[in-house]
Each structure stands twice: as C-alpha cells, then as structure tokens.
A and B are shown apart, each in its own frame.
Chain A
Amino acid sequence: MRRREALKRVAVLPLLPLVLPLPQEVEAQEGQAQPSAPNLYDPSRVGRARPRVTDYENDPFIIDVEGRIRCTCGCNLDVYTCRTTDFTCGVSPEMHRQVVQLVEQGRTADEILEAFVAEHGEAVLMAPPKEGFNLAAYFVPSIAIGAVGLWLLWALGRRRVRVELAGAPEGPESSGLADEDREKLEAELQDLEL
C-alpha cells in the first residue's frame, strides 16, 4: 500500500508547476535578486518585512548599550527588548541602526549614551543618571529604610531600658528556674508551639 501511495505522489509531481504559483520566475521577470527561500503564501500576514540578522544584533556590547536606552515609541521598553519583541515598532530598529553606526565609529558606551541624551533628552535613558537631583531617586529609599531602622533600634532599646528600670517582672529569671532548665524549656516549647 505504502509503495502504491508513494508512486501516486511521484506521478503527481510533474503536475505541480501547473497548480502552484511560480514566484521565482515572477521575481526574475521583475529583475530582482532571487530569494533562495520559498515565498510565503501571504506575506502581509506576518507584518513588516524583517532585515537579515547580522553579527551586530547579537553583539553583547550593543545589547548592553541598547538595554540602557529607552525606545521613544512610547512602549516603555528598552531598545533591545522593543526591537526583539514589538515587531510593529519602527522606532527601535531605527535606534538600533543608530547604535550600530556609533559603534562602527568606535564610540564607547558612555559616548553612545551621551549622543542619545543630546538628541532625545535624559528620558531616553532607562535609569536616571546618578547626578544632581536624580541621586534622590537612588538614595532616598535606602536612607529612609536606614533611618527608620536606626530609629527603631534606638526607640525600642530606650523603651526596653525604661521597662527594666521600672522594675517590670523579668520573665525568665523570675521563674525560679535554673538557666539550663529554662533553656531546655524554651527549646521544648519551641517544638511544641503546635
């Protein structure tokens, strides 16, 4: 059976050119370069045509720099993420080309970022530069946490001293248990806090 099926398929092969479109011939008539991959049935379904990937697209230096630049299309993503995610965006591929050009000119990461800031303003950076008022963005949270932590330590320590001075009953020592017994008891209670 299999053999018969295979023979049928082979017999049908010569008829294929009659029913299939001939994209390569059409391309040739239009005088364009012949693509080596078959044409899609309906290219419009896959969105904008993509350029071929070059080494630049996978260059870790470029990826790192693009990760620090915000795409200006309004997507809130960095250029690398946007150009590899939002395939409807025309801005991030253009910004990528700009980055590649600057890299080809031998610019350092900082120089590339400066060039983008000069063109688009500070908001083009994914994180505010650590200078001037922006320092508040970075340090206010940790200063606040540190300050509250220190205040907690101070306030609780002070209150504890006050309680002790006022002669509040001392739990463990007033229980009349020996240290060893108390520690064993604590350990046991820890287990039994069921």
Chain B
Amino acid sequence: MTILGQLALWLALLIGAWGTFVGFYGGLKRRPELVASARRSTYALCGVLIVASAGLLVALLNHDFNVSYVASYTSRNLPTVYILSAFYGGQAGSLLFWAVVLSIFGALAQLLSSRKYDHLLPYVAGVTSAVTLFFVVVTLFSANPFARLPFTPADGNGLNPQLQNPGMVIHPPLLYLGYISITIPFAFAMAALISKRLDVGWLHAIRKWTIVSWLFLSIGITLGMWWAYVELGWGGYWAWDPVENASFLPWLTMTAFLHSVMIQEKRGMLKKWNMILISLSFFLSIFGTFITRSGIISSVHSFTQSSIGTYFLAFLIFLIVIVGGLILVRLPTLESESHLESMVSREASFLFNNLLLVGIAFSVFWGTMFPMISELVRGTQVTVGPPFFNQVNIPIGLGLLALTGIGPLIAWRKASIVNLRRQFAVPVTAALITAILLVALGVGHFYATLTVALAAFVTATVLQEFWRGVGARHRLHGEGYVHAFARLVGRNRRRYGGYIVHMAIVTYFVAFAGSAFRADLEASMKPGDTVQLASPWGYTYSFTHIGVSQYDELNRLVSAASVEVARDGERVGIMKSEKRQHFTCEQPISPCPRALRRPSFEPSTEAGIRSDLREDIYIVYAGSVEGTEEAVYKFTLNPMVWWLWFGGFVLVVGGVVTLWPGTVVRATRQADTQGGYAAQLVEADHA
C-alpha cells in the first residue's frame, strides 16, 4: 500500500499542476473544455490524495515499521485511536493530511457551488489546485511519509504521551480544517479579482464557507485549550505560545471579515478592505504553518525543525507578491458604492470592531515576532511571554468586548439620539449594577471587574434583541413566546446565530476573568496528611493524601496518587492524579513481558480535575520523596473554567444556527412580516 501511496502522491503532483494550469488558462481564455478539465482535475486530485492517505493509514495500522514515519510515531501497543491520530501527529503525515483535506474542500467547492458562480469556479479550481500542489510538493520533496528505513525495527518509538489524549485526537484535525478551509473563501476572492466580477456574488458564494472555516478554527482553538488544560498539567489553558498565537491570528482576521463583509453586502462599502482581510487570513494560515514547522521561533508545540520552513517562506512571499499585485491592479474596481453617513452607525461600530480585531492580530503578531526583530535590530535576544501579551492585549480585548455589545445596538446608516437612548438604557444599567455589586462584594481586581461588567452589558444587549424580536412577533402575529422565539431565530439565522456566538464570546471572557483569582498550593504529604487551601469563593478545601498505587496498563506503567477532598468539612470525593511511564516492546510480543519493556518517554503527568460551575479542583502529582509514598502535589483552584468549555458549546450552537440551511422566504410571506408602525405609516399615506 505504501508503494501505491507514493505513486498516488506523484500522480497528485501531475494532476495538481494540470489543474492549476487549466483552471487559470481555461478561465482566462473562456475555453469550456479546459474549464471542465479543471473541475475534473479537482475531483481526480481529491481521489489520488485519498488513495495516498489510505496508503499511510494502512501502513500505520499494519505496524509497518520499515516506514520511517510509522516507526517514529507509533508502536505496537499504541491504542488504535492514537495510531489513527498519528496520521497527523507528525510533520510528514500532517502535510499529507493538509493536502488531502484541501483537495476534498476544493472538490466540494466545485460540486456544491451554484451554477451562477460558473464564471468564478475555473479560477477557484486553479487556486485550490495550486495550493494543494504546494503541499504535495513539500510532502514529496521534504517530508515524505512513505520514506523507508534501511532496516525494520521490532517496535516503533510510540506516540508522545502528551498526544495520547482524546483532545489531541480531535483538536488538530479541527484546527487544520479551520486553517485549510480558509483557502476556499480566498480562492473565490482571487477568482473575483481575476475575473473582475467584484459584485457581491463572490461574497454570497463564500458565506457558508467563511462561517464553516471560522467555526472550525474556533472549535479547534477551544479544544486546544482543553487539551492544554487537561494534559499539560500547569493548570492553565492559554500560554501565548507562538503556536497558539499562530492559530489565533487567522481567527482574529476571519472574525473581522465576518463582520465587515456584512457592510459590503448591505451597503457596498469596504470592498478593498474585505479583499485584504480574506487574503490576510489565508496568509496567516500559511504563516502559522510556517512558524510551527520552520523552527524560527521556539515553541513547545513545534514539529521537529526541517527544511520545509524554506518552502513555506518562499510560498508565503510568492503569495503576498501575487495577491498584493492583483489587488493593486484591481483597485479602481474596488471602490465603495456608498459612504458612511454617520460616525454613530452600525457601519462605524463595525469599522472600529475591525480596527480592534486587526489591532489585536497585529499586536499578537508583533509580540510573536519581536524576539526575532530584536535579534535582527539589536543582536540581543529577548523573550516575549504571557506578561507582555496580557499587558498589551487585555485592554484592547476589553474594548472589543464593549463593541460586541455596542455594534448590534446602533442602527444602520445613522442612529438618532432617541434610538441610542432606547437601545442603551438597559444594557448600560445592567453593566453599572454589575460593577457596583462586584465592588460591593469586595472584588478588587480591576480588569476582572471591568470584564464581568462588560459581559453583563453585552448579555443585556443580546437578551434585549431577542426580547424585542420575540415581543414584536408576539404582537404582530399573535404567536406564543416560544413559537415566536423559534420563528424569530429561524427567519434570520445569521443575525440571531451571531448573537448566540456573541454570548459564547461573553462566556469566554467571564471564564478568562475567573483566572485572575486562581489559588495554588504545593505540598509534600505522607499518607494521611491533610493540607487546606482557601477558594476565592470563600470555601476552604481540605486535601488528604491517601496513598500511591502502581499498576500496569496496555502501554504504560501507572502510578496513581489518590487524594480525599473535602469542602468546608463536607466530603467532595476522591481524586486521582497519575504518573505514566510509557513503554514499547523489544520484540513483537503482545502483551509485552516485563523483561522486554523499554521506557519510550520520560514519565508524563495526568492531572486530576473536578469541575463545577464555580471552580475546578486541579490536582497534579508531581512525584515522590525518596521513592516513597510521600507525594509532592500541586493543588490549584481554578475559578470559572467550566464556563470556557460551556462557551465552546454555545459557540457551536450559534455557528450551527447560522449555518442551518433555510428555506427560501417567499416575497408574500416577507411582506406579511412588515407591519406595526411602519405598515401603519404606509397605510396612512395611501389613505
């Protein structure tokens, strides 16, 4: 199968090159046979890359340790689910994964796009084929997953224990799906530029793709935080690591695009800006891959350093030059159709929302790259870690949170004083009451207080929007409130799905604010010893060390330290944190006899976590004193973490609502909804 896989990769190289050529040439020359060939090429490219992927999967599942990639990332005793995740767990496999997923997306874009975008599709095929071709080239010439060893080891190295976690099974592919699917909106944008068809058609064509991409990125990032939290053992979920930043950058620009695109759709404004934003998002997805894989910036998440950084850098520069040139050439056709009428309008608030989103993206980029810049300018290395990012980004982030609430409250075109008063009264009151309550309760942390007050403001805006919408439907149509709510959301899924996503973002912010009150305690404890830790909620937790038990599991030797936990004297339960020593077998025997076990990695740590709505109890067994059951623990009380994962769930719900396929609203039914004061005015006018 690996030979077939290798052959399929070479075929992909040829088909990708052909698809790229006929896509652009056929589109420019308007030759239907070449255009059809470009479309078929995307399907063929998808087919051969699926075969190549199947080749690698078979090699992984068959423990073909003669294949270097299989020997490097798997072992005989690795559970099947992690053997499958090893497909994208290493450098070469992840590149193949990227190529195959992109080819699937490319084929789907051809297959699912309405025929009314036929004038764009040849160029879309050209772009997706070209980007897939790049990944195939890198896979073939720099990181080939089918490369063979001169010998066949009895067992492989196994997968890094930190990657043997359910979070790592789903987090990377979802993040990749986010990164990769940005290519489709980018391809449509390029198609619009090349074909000079710069009306809103291309925006309609990519609407769902953009949301899908943003959703995958969001879920991927959230799952990454979850994985870091449960697996890395430091009790946090975001460390401003360069690789984390790399995933955050395209998310920020895509979020900006999702907002600014509405202004172009409604008012024909910001055409240049939207073109720049979608291109920037695509560049940043490639940039993220570049810094993850090039080794230019040190990160705990990086793949092994290799020459592929050069490929990515060259590709990135090529893209920036070509796309920048294309946008410059088309500038005259990207003029706005209308202008901003008031600085107090939804358009203006979206503009400032864009400014802050791109501002945060810039500051994250700047901070991530500053060590390199400093070395280039001064010849001195510096570290830019969490203290810097928090200091610079928290104020901007809070400004953004405020705009999340302000934007939907202001009318399109121009808001009147009455409009502002009517819209802002309740949310501002909610924010003020929350702030006063928090201060009265003794919450002294400025940023946390401000965050929660702003969260109350945004929540009130969203609830107010839902309340008024439901109320209007109830009054106009006599619908029950539940029915009115369902109809309200159903009739404008994009708007109300967006509000649900806003609530998810609010939930994230509240969870972030909770991290300001984290409490930690280190202790070495003999069995029976008890320590206490005060919670920010006013509870006192008692932790009693029970003992350490050691036992064997499939591919690891486990040492589990148990702690009995009580809150204010009431028993909470027994929590367990583990040390795991993974091993591989010197001979292909299963189960592996003790004498043949070979430790494959340093012992890893599994945190014990117990969550509730208020806080997480997070216990880490750091090790033992002098080989005894006297355990060294780190106890952490992490307020509000549960809300982060709940926010992720709400975000998915909002995204699904936004994406849910709708029926076409007939004009007559649309007319039915026009009533109330507007209808009365029209009727009065006619009378």
Residue numbers of A with Cβ under 8 A of B are: 35-53, 57-58, 63, 67-68, 70, 74-78, 81, 84-85, 87-88, 121-128, 133-134, 136-138, 140-142, 144-145, 148-149, 152-153, 156-157, 159-160, 163, 171-172, 177, 181-194
Q: Report Cα–Cα, A121/B471, bound state, in Å.
A: 64
Q: How many Å from the CB of A47 to the closest CB on chain B? A: 4
Residue numbers of B with Cβ under 8 A of A are: 232-234, 236, 239, 241, 298-300, 339-343, 348, 351-352, 355-356, 359, 362-363, 366-367, 370-371, 374, 377-378, 380-388, 391-392, 396, 411, 413-414, 416, 418-419, 422-423, 468-469, 471-473, 488, 491-492, 495, 520-524, 526-527, 547-548, 550, 557-559, 579, 581, 602-603, 605, 620-630, 632, 634, 673-678, 681
A127, B385: Cβ atoms closer than 8 Å: yes
Q: How many Å from the CB of B570 to the closest CB on chain A? A: 25
Q: A51-B625, A76-B299 are in contact. List 12 more A-B contacts (CB 8 A).
A: A38-B527, A39-B627, A49-B625, A52-B632, A57-B522, A142-B392, A145-B362, A156-B343, A160-B340, A187-B419, A192-B472, A194-B492
For chains A and B in complex, what number of residue pairs have CB atoms within 8 angstroms? 258
Kindly list chain A residues whose C-beta atoms are within 8 Å of the C-beta of B491. 194
Among A51, A185, A190, A193, the residue within 8 A (CB) of B681 is: A185
Kindly list chain B residues whose C-beta atoms are within 8 Å of the C-beta of A142. 363, 392, 396
Among A50, A124, A186, the residue within 8 A (CB) of B416 is: A186
Q: Report Cα–Cα, A183/B342, bound state, in Å.
A: 16
Among B340, B370, B382, the residue within 8 A (CB) of A159 is: B340
Q: Report Cα–Cα, A194/B416, bound state, in Å.
A: 21
Kindly list chain A residues whose C-beta atoms are within 8 Å of the C-beta of B363. 141-142, 145
B527, A37: Cβ atoms closer than 8 Å: yes
B381, A41: Cβ atoms closer than 8 Å: no
Kindly list chain A residues whose C-beta atoms are within 8 Å of the C-beta of B521. 58
A53, B471: Cβ atoms closer than 8 Å: no
Q: What would 24 A/B residue contacts be, using CB atoms closer than 8 Å?
A: A35-B625, A35-B628, A37-B526, A37-B630, A40-B627, A42-B550, A42-B557, A45-B557, A46-B621, A74-B298, A77-B300, A85-B605, A85-B620, A122-B382, A127-B385, A127-B387, A128-B374, A128-B384, A171-B414, A183-B418, A189-B411, A191-B469, A192-B472, A194-B492
A137, B366: Cβ atoms closer than 8 Å: yes
A181, B559: Cβ atoms closer than 8 Å: no
Q: Report Cα–Cα, A53/B623, bound state, in Å.
A: 11
From DSSP, what is the main secondary structure of chain B's interface residues?
A: mixed
4 closest Cβ contacts across the A-B interface?
A43-B627, A141-B363, A145-B359, A126-B385
Q: Report Cα–Cα, A45/B370, bound state, in Å.
A: 41
B579, A46: Cβ atoms closer than 8 Å: yes
Q: Report Cα–Cα, A105/B323, bound state, in Å.
A: 60
Tell me whether A126 and B387 are in contact in the complex, defined as CB-CB below 8 angstroms, given that A84-B622, A187-B419 are known contacts: yes
Kindly list chain B residues whose C-beta atoms are within 8 Å of the C-beta of A193. 492, 495
A191, B622: Cβ atoms closer than 8 Å: no
User: Whose C-beta in chain A lies nearest to the C-beta of B371?
Assistant: A123
User: Whose C-beta in chain B lies nearest to the C-beta of A75?
Assistant: B300
User: Whose C-beta in chain B lies nearest to the C-beta of A57?
Assistant: B522
B343, A157: Cβ atoms closer than 8 Å: yes
A126, B386: Cβ atoms closer than 8 Å: yes
Kindly list chain A residues whose C-beta atoms are within 8 Å of the C-beta of B351. 152, 156
A128, B383: Cβ atoms closer than 8 Å: yes
B678, A192: Cβ atoms closer than 8 Å: yes
Most chain A beta-carbon contacts within 10 A, residue among B371, B423, B602 = B602
B579, A45: Cβ atoms closer than 8 Å: yes
Q: Report Cα–Cα, A137/B626, bound state, in Å.
A: 46
Among B396, B495, B676, the residue within 8 A (CB) of A145 is: B396
B384, A127: Cβ atoms closer than 8 Å: yes
Kindly list chain A residues whose C-beta atoms are within 8 Å of the C-beta of B548. 40, 46
Kindly list chain A residues whose C-beta atoms are within 8 Å of the C-beta of B620. 84-85
Kindly list chain B residues whose C-beta atoms are within 8 Å of the C-beta of A84. 234, 520, 522, 620, 622, 634
Q: Report Cα–Cα, A69/B416, bound state, in Å.
A: 53
A188, B386: Cβ atoms closer than 8 Å: no
Kindly list chain B residues whose C-beta atoms are within 8 Å of the C-beta of A184. 677
B550, A47: Cβ atoms closer than 8 Å: no
A70, B366: Cβ atoms closer than 8 Å: no
Tell me whether A85 and B233 are in contact in the complex, defined as CB-CB below 8 angstroms, given that A76-B385, A188-B678, A189-B678 are known contacts: yes
B392, A138: Cβ atoms closer than 8 Å: yes
Q: Report Cα–Cα, A63/B681, bound state, in Å.
A: 68
Q: Report Cα–Cα, A123/B381, bound state, in Å.
A: 5
A53, B681: Cβ atoms closer than 8 Å: no
A171, B413: Cβ atoms closer than 8 Å: yes
Q: Report Cα–Cα, A77/B250, bound state, in Å.
A: 24
Q: How many Å from the CB of B280 to the closest CB on chain A? A: 14
Kindly list chain B residues whose C-beta atoms are within 8 Å of the C-beta of A122. 380-382
Among B362, B623, B630, B674, the residue within 8 A (CB) of A48 is: B623
Q: Report Cα–Cα, A81/B629, bound state, in Å.
A: 24
Kindly list chain B residues whose C-beta atoms are within 8 Å of the C-beta of A188. 676-678
Q: Report Cα–Cα, A163/B338, bound state, in Å.
A: 10
Tell me whether A87 and B678 are in contact in the complex, defined as CB-CB below 8 angstroms, given that A35-B628, A194-B492 are known contacts: no
Among B352, B558, B678, the residue within 8 A (CB) of A149 is: B352
User: Whose C-beta in chain A lies nearest to the C-beta of B549?
Assistant: A41
User: Whose C-beta in chain B lies nearest to the C-beta of A42?
Assistant: B550
Tell me whether A134 and B382 are in contact in the complex, defined as CB-CB below 8 angstroms, given that A50-B625, A58-B521 are known contacts: yes
